[in-house]
A and B are shown apart, each in its own frame.
Chain A
Amino acid sequence: MSGEVTVTGFGVRTAFGTGAEALRRGVFAGIPSFRATTRFDTGPYRTPMAGVAPDGPDAAWDWALRHALAQCGAEAVDLAGLRPGTKAAVLLGVAGDCTSVTRHWRTAAGATPGRRQDVAAAPHSATGATERAADAVPAHLAELLAGRLALTGPRLTFTNACVASAAAIIHACRLISSGRIDAAVCAGGYLVEEETFAKFDSGRALSRDGAVRPFSADRSGLLLGDGVAAVVLESAEHARRRGARPLATVVGWGAATDTHHIAQPHPEGVGLALATRQAMRLAGDPDGAGLGYVNAHGTGTKYNDGAETRGLRAAFPERAETIPISSTKSTTGHLLEAAGVVEFVITMLALLDGVLPPTAGFTRSAPECDLDYVPNQPRAADLRRALTVNAAFGGANTALVLERP
């Protein structure tokens, strides 16, 4: 590796609101954000629950992914002090804004929308409704974000589901550490909408009891949540030249595939262990001796949590039982393409604040989940390094290791 990768800025928005303080009040206090969403008619589905912000007067604006990405991107760039015109890459993890797909087919079906459907069918109506078919195109959102931030570097959009924004961060780390680029804005976003909600409902993946209980014996599934975040990554040299203060350093990254199933994780967490070991090797700490926390993928599904536990045990055969692990999806919900970057920010805040966010909703241990999951209460900890892992459909896994300066 020729260049150290530092984090110099971030912007984040979840159901708890915007910024780090909102995360501290919610995620770090162990308070779930789940409520019945009114964004669309949830009558046809098994649950109305999601990790969504309360609807406000600006809901139509708030639900446009392009606006939320621009907001978080601007905060990240402001904090980092990156100037307009900087040649920074914009690397995004998104699936596109699916509300435009819904709008197209509702219009085509000649639906007479009711009040709630009306909003769902035309969430951009307040801001110029019809010219948003392209927002469903993932690459277009990266172009829009780069344009809004006035950054002139390359743009690329990762669409690989729940590891998409983690993959964007890993790509930035590779580009920066190899000296190809000096700086990148990595962002990801998912805002709860009906297309994806209906798909997860049909897959019977959503929690039955309105809570997400990762690693707990009575876990029954995941809930979706709003999440958007952006981080500024840059070489240590570039940050030093600009006089920017590094918030954290990315010291390791890894990505690997399970070779198991199109949708389910390998029951032994094979790919997760491979990705984690890669990242730890790169961080120069293959045994995880300096690791103080793991932000788990922890979806709260039967399949994921046992597999993840076994994967982490395989990655840290000597140390797994002594490393605190938590799933912040227990408070935010599953943020899909945004999970990687939002949880990256949460992991960084844990390092900076010396507080581990808990796994909320935890009731009792499951035999297949036998590690320290920081149940229900935050925990003070003097951390130097932390790991954040994600997994996705197709057996894709990512791992990122952060270090406090």
Chain B
Amino acid sequence: MKTEKTVLRSPLGILATATATLGTGRDDDLPLPRLPGFVESSFSPLAYEVSRQCLTERPGDGSRTAVALASLMGDTTTADLASRRMVSGQVHNPLLFMQATANSVLGYTSREFGITGQTFSLSTLDDPVTELLAMADLLLEDPELDRVLVLGVELGGGERREAGVPPADGWARVSDAYRELAVGSNRPVPPPSTPAGLAAAVLLGRPGAEAPVSVRSAEAYEADHATHDEAVGTETVGTAAAGHPGNILGLFDLAAAHRRLLRDGGSHLLVTEPGVRRGRTAFRLTADAETPPSAPTDAPAVRDDREPHAHH
């Protein structure tokens, strides 16, 4: 498949990455923070947790920071809970009104970290990695911004599965939507075993001393040869087949690659899932040669060193 290049005009520096999972049964499932004003749904706690990790690890000027959150379907738990209460004639919980949009947790994050730059939320069918990196590249051309926090949040739709009688639960509604989206997009419906919640965040700036790993658009031929790592001579991180629409696993791949580069140095090719209309997009992540003091930067990347991803 043809690859789209030059998504990024200029390289980006990766300042920090963070991931959080809920209900995967894995050891890295994090206890999520309880956020005042947010109830029932893990959407906002997931979004806040990964944002908090990045912004705490690399504090910066909130007046020069923007935040973009991508989520295909948003907070389906809150939407379904509110709707079920409504159709059954129960009085709405005003807190469900307050948290009904992703803006609310973005507002919470902005208050906690003094962020006055633009904060906004997106929905995209394609791999959000491409949209979010492109968004950061565009926003960082604004002379009033230095940093862009991008994050993805995905609820499996089954967070409150026990609250409904299958198939009339939240998962049924979400999977109906995925089935319709699958028509014509060649993308699968996520399996019912999909984790209850995933979130990943990447704090980006322009490359510099603060950002030992940088990411830039890769040339098309690199991605077209991505299955032949020997020819490219670098580690490849990315999913081979398209997952379900809007899935945020690419952000987990990016975070894993970032962690590994910090540890080992070297270079990675991140290949996104093919988009609805465009081919795969490729990005090259490169560690500053002087960054990992304990790792030989001239050693060839080791293929077996892949980190497990949340979807495995």
Q: Which residues of B contact A163 (CB under 8 A)?
A: 120
Counting contact residues on chain A (CB < 8 A from B), the size range is 35 or more
Q: Given A199-B97, A202-B97, A203-B98, A157 and B92 touching (CB < 8 A)?
A: no
Taking a contact as CB atoms under 8 Å apart, the answer to whether A202 and B96 are in contact is yes
Complex Cα–Cα for A376 and B82 (A): 37
Q: Is A133 an interface residue (CB 8 A)?
A: yes
Residue of B115, B169, B246 near A257 (CB, 8 A) is: B115
Q: Which residues of B contact A102 (CB under 8 A)?
A: 83, 86-87
Q: Which residues of B contact A107 (CB under 8 A)?
A: 168
Interface string of B169-208 (1 = CB under 8 A from A): 1001100110111000000000000000000000000000
Q: Which residues of B contact A129 (CB under 8 A)?
A: none
Q: Which residues of B contact A215 (CB under 8 A)?
A: none
Q: Given A199-B100, A259-B116, A395 and B86 touching (CB < 8 A)?
A: no
Total interface residues on B, CB under 8 Å, equals 69
Interface positions, chain A 121-145, Cβ under 8 Å from B, are 131-134, 136-140, 143
Interface string of A189-217 (1 = CB under 8 A from B): 00000110011111111000000000000
Taking a contact as CB atoms under 8 Å apart, the answer to whether A105 and B87 are in contact is yes
Interface string of B85-105 (1 = CB under 8 A from A): 011110111101111111111
Q: Is A159 an interface residue (CB 8 A)?
A: yes
Q: Given A134-B180, A195-B82, A270-B116, A139 and B123 touching (CB < 8 A)?
A: yes
Determine which residue in B107, B245, B246, B276 has the highest number of CB atoms from chain A within 10 A of its CB, and name it: B107
Min CB–CB distance A141 → chain B (angstroms): 9
Residue of B73, B79, B115, B277 near A259 (CB, 8 A) is: B115
Taking a contact as CB atoms under 8 Å apart, the answer to whether B276 and A160 are in contact is no
Q: Is B29 an interface residue (CB 8 A)?
A: no
Taking a contact as CB atoms under 8 Å apart, the answer to whether B180 and A131 are in contact is yes
Taking a contact as CB atoms under 8 Å apart, the answer to whether A394 and B104 are in contact is yes
Q: Is A245 an interface residue (CB 8 A)?
A: no
Taking a contact as CB atoms under 8 Å apart, the answer to whether A133 and B131 are in contact is no
Taking a contact as CB atoms under 8 Å apart, the answer to whether B119 and A257 are in contact is yes
Complex Cα–Cα for A163 and B139 (A): 17
User: Which of the candidate stretches A174-182, A231-239, A313-321 sits at the interface with the other chain?
Assistant: A174-182
Interface positions, chain A 82-132, Cβ under 8 Å from B, are 95-96, 98, 100-102, 104-109, 111, 131-132
- Which residues of A are in contact with B by a Cβ distance under 8 Å? 44, 95-96, 98, 100-102, 104-109, 111, 131-134, 136-140, 143, 152, 155-161, 163, 167, 171, 174-175, 178, 180, 194-195, 198-205, 255-263, 270-271, 274, 278, 392-396
User: Lowest 3 A-B CB distances belong to which pairs?
Assistant: A394-B107, A202-B92, A394-B103
